[in-house]
Amino acid sequence: MVISDLPLTTSDLHTTKGGRRNSTLICAPIMAESVDEMLVQMRKANEAGADIVEIRLDYLKNFIPRQDLEILIKRSPLPAIVTYRPVWEGGQYDGNESKRQDALHLASEIGADYIDIELKVAHEFYNSIQLKKPGKAKIIVSSHNYQNTPSVEEIAELVARIQATGADIVKIATTALDITDSARMFQVLVHSHVPMIGLVMGEKGLISRILSPKFGGFLTFGSLEPGVVSAPGQPTIKELLDLYNFREIASDTKVHGVIGNPVSHSKSPHLYNAAFKSVGFDGIYLPLLVDSVEDFLTTYSSPDFVGYSYTTPHKEAGLNCSDEVDPIAKIIGAINCMIKRPTDGKLIGYNFDYIGAIAAIEEGLRALNRTANISGSPLAGKLLVVMGAGGAGKSLAYGGKEKGARVVVANRTLAKAKELASKVGGKAITLAELENFHPEDGMVLVNTTSVGMKPRCHATPIPKKALKHYSLVFDAIYSPKETRLLREAQESGVAVVYGTEMLINQGFEQFEKFTGLPAPKQLMRDVLARNT
């Protein structure tokens, strides 16, 4: 059976300007305690752009089968999957099994488009359905693994077992312990000869949900609201459509993303997906929660996985995994961008952090000193204090040295500060020493640590009283845009430069590496302003 054999046709689907490039459905889980609330949610799903709804009967309080199903199925504005998930398969229903299956039979008779039944009881369900009045419903036979993601061979064997029940559609949901787990699901999905829903749950499995159309998935789930999900890791319908341009993902779409840990705070997907769409570039950009850079790159080595941004803590690991490294990135000892060269598949590492950050700091100093038209860098001769000695710290220290600044590196561990300071001809101190460090006034302070990043917004790497000795403070953190450090600097009468300026400046460079096209600079600035 192929997808075109199923009752839902493309004429039934939501379309967008320019049409859609895939037939993968967006399914909205409907989870409410009353029929009236479910009807409201269905209307919201339809308005949001879902193609299909999943009616989760196990969430209903005081469920009256015939009465409630008549209303829910016949008044649904979209095709419906009826699911009555038991506790033993991760659902809410903890009652009599025969009554549960009777309700699903009844849903089929009333006119449900799809019925979801668990593999564990599929044979029993199919045997009993022969004795009842058949409906038009197609049967989804599902298996949920909340512990891990098995091997490719084990998933393929599970597909065969589900097919053997007579299923119209195979559904397998596993759990991601690592981002590489999704690759095994993709491998089975792309070779499936029957319609298949293959999803990997959890934040590390997010790419399985978004890239479902690329590998031929029958549907993916999109929630109505953030956090109100039927399984861990579900994006919202709005995110699928507006952030990830889900309708435009095809089998040949090029995959990009930001490699980090944590990574959910990143605004880069907003920036690049909007920019890709605006210039008609067939690419997608994802948040990639990676534990091991080497494992990720080895696993996703296919030609369509082509470009990455690197953020904390993987900038140095990214350099070590590059086949070739740009000379500046080699000097800095970290990358923030990696491109797969199309001619030979080699991974090339670059560092644009220093360009983005130094340009933003120089602009801030020129505005402060009202020297916009004077040649030369306003950093020349300044004492530049860099907090942090990781990838971003190296970039800023190197960039400052190149512009003629005197560099001081402050780090939690002195040994790491000394290592970086020696490379840029600077001085090393600990973060704890910064409180009383003021050899002169008018210094420039740069934070490249994660102190103050969401969710620890209350934290700051330096006491407020120490800020009065600086003329300008820059914080590489951009989530939140106004960190406690920047807020306290302003309160102390010090000029500030936001991390978003570094992000946007280096973003222009990365976009051009990813696409080979000029960056739509104003659009990218507008997108970032809306999302920070």
- Residues with a catalytic annotation lie at 144, 171, 315, 353
Measured between alpha carbons, how far apart are the two ends of the chain, in Å?
46
H or E element in which residue 256 lies: strand 254-260
Phi, psi of 275 (to 5 degrees): -70, -45
Do the beta carbons of residue 268 and residue 531 sit within 8 Å?
A: no
Kind of pairing between the strands at 305-310 and 337-340: antiparallel
Q: How far apart are CA 492 and CA 466, in angstroms?
A: 9
The residues, ordered by sequence, that sit 6+ positions from 483 with a Cβ below 8 Å of its Cβ are 447, 452, 453, 457, 460, 475, 477, 499
The residues, ordered by sequence, that sit 6+ positions from 360 with a Cβ below 8 Å of its Cβ are 474, 497, 498, 501, 502, 505
Give the DSSP letter string of 261-283.
Answer: SS-TT--HHHHHHHHHHHTT--E
Do the beta carbons of residue 14 and residue 50 sit within 8 Å?
A: yes
Which amino acid is located at 101 in the chain?
Q
Question: Positive or negative, the Cα torsion across 162, 167, 169, 175?
Answer: negative
Which residue, 298, 312, 305, is CA-closest to 338? 305
Q: What tokens appear for 13 in the block?
A: 């689907």
* 253 DSSP assignment: P
Phi, psi of 452 (to 5 degrees): 105, -5
> Which position has the token pair 């889980």?
29
The residues, ordered by sequence, that sit 6+ positions from 481 with a Cβ below 8 Å of its Cβ are 498, 499, 500, 532
Strands (E), 264-413: 283-289, 305-310, 324-325, 337-340, 347-350, 383-387, 406-411
Question: Positive or negative, the Cα torsion across 230, 234, 240, 243?
Answer: positive
Give the DSSP letter string of 170-188.
Answer: EEEEEE-SSTTHHHHHHHH
Which residue, 519, 30, 5, is CA-closest to 279? 519
